[in-house]
Amino acid sequence: MSKNVRYEIFNLIKKFEEKKSFSNLILNEYLSNSDLSSKDKSLLTNIFYGVLEKRLMLDHILKHYSKIKLKKIDKDILIILKMAVYQIVFMEKIPDNAAVNEAVELTKKVKKKSAAGFVNAVLRSLIRNDKKTYITDEETVDMLSLKYSVNKDIIKLWKKAYGQAVLLKILESLFNKAKIHIRVNTLKNDAEDLKIKLENDNIKVTKTDLADALIIENISNIAENKLFKNGCFHIQSLSSQLCCKAVKPSPGDIVYDVCVAPGGKSFTMAQMMKNTGELFSFDKYEHKVKLINKDAKRLGINIIKASVKDSMVFDFEQCKKADVVLCDVPCSGLGEVKRKPEIKYKDVSDLKELTDIQYKILCNASSAVKSGGILVYSTCTLNPQENNEIADKFLAENKGFEAVKIDVGRIIKRNSFEPENQLTIFPFNGMDDGFFVAMFRKI
């Protein structure tokens, strides 16, 4: 890996810390405009995400080898140290001396030459001590927080909600790289046909237990792939596709997707509807609505009518009554940690404002459901406050609705702690994302 690539990684991490944007957006933007080789892109991605994913552990290791307290270390130097420690401890193919030397050179390149000796001393000390991390196998909240680099409050939340055994499974799953799931555009091809076409492009394809859902690997730039450009598929997590399977819209239905971005569920539902009926997709941000319309055109979908609306305050009473209303509400995102590692460090001590928004959107959008129609509430988080408690509250306070059993076949096992109209999907057992779905029918 060249010095230039290490400098690029440094700048990306610095940009992430300064902009406070999602890591995947920053990285994807960089990679789409980069002329780096596939090998260098892979290494850059590995180190960039590695440093973000293991932030708490890397801080813990550095505390044992630095004579200066971390909060007093220059921010640029701290980034360089974390990059080097990650390579030394977790990347066996990179020689220790190379990691140290490159860190020292990078320190000089960012005009912090005076700190070069300090960087060298910290890293050499780590190597001399056999790369000891001071992480044990204790299953206490404190040690699990360090081992998996997850905020203590999130660990406490998951332990209280799901128990120690499920907590450990969730944490262990975070070390597995998120796969790229795609949904076959059944308006243009079937799964077997698309699989053959992708494999002819030297893309590895794996089938899943869910019809029309595939996993793809070794693809460097999806946006430039001709099959993607021709609308043969769109990217959508398996958990999100399962939500659509539970919803089961039919051809000719009137459907509302009231918090649409990035649009995956709207596209999948339109395909399930065989591009007949009407599908109204709302989002409060104009740039996101433009992207939905652009992707719908690429996929050959013409029943989607995307528009800018704030579903918390929009008057749904004036709309056509719908067969299906889907509320995939804004949430804390604790189910997307594999794709956005920075979520692990969120403060979840007070979610009152967020849960109020979620409940208002659900109640407001419920007025668009026709008699006998289906109302669906979903999130991409693992938090009963935003999930089960919202669903329970809605059913208790809205007597015009009844619970509807969720049926996704044998793809995943139901949880014993939930009623049949609720389903928490965990990020293990073949799933990459945590998700929640609840279903109601208007009486």
Task: Quote the CA–CA distance of 36 and 12 in Å, as a whole number.
Answer: 14
**Ramachandran class of 409: left when φ > 0, alpha when ψ lies in -120 to 50, beta otherwise:** left
Task: Quote the CA–CA distance of 356 and 390 in Å, as a whole number.
Answer: 9
- The torsion angles phi and psi of 428, rounded to 5 degrees, stand at -145, -175
Q: Which two tokens stand for residue 393?
A: 């509250």
Residue tagged active-site, from 243, 327, 331, 380? 380
Residue 380 designated active-site: yes
Task: Quote the CA–CA distance of 361 and 393 in Å, as a whole number.
Answer: 13
Give the N- to C-terminal CA distance of the chain in Å, as an integer.
63
How distant, in Å, are the alpha carbons of 144, 158, 164, 167, 344 from that of 154? Answer: 11, 6, 13, 10, 7
Among all residues, which ones are annotated catalytic?
A: 380
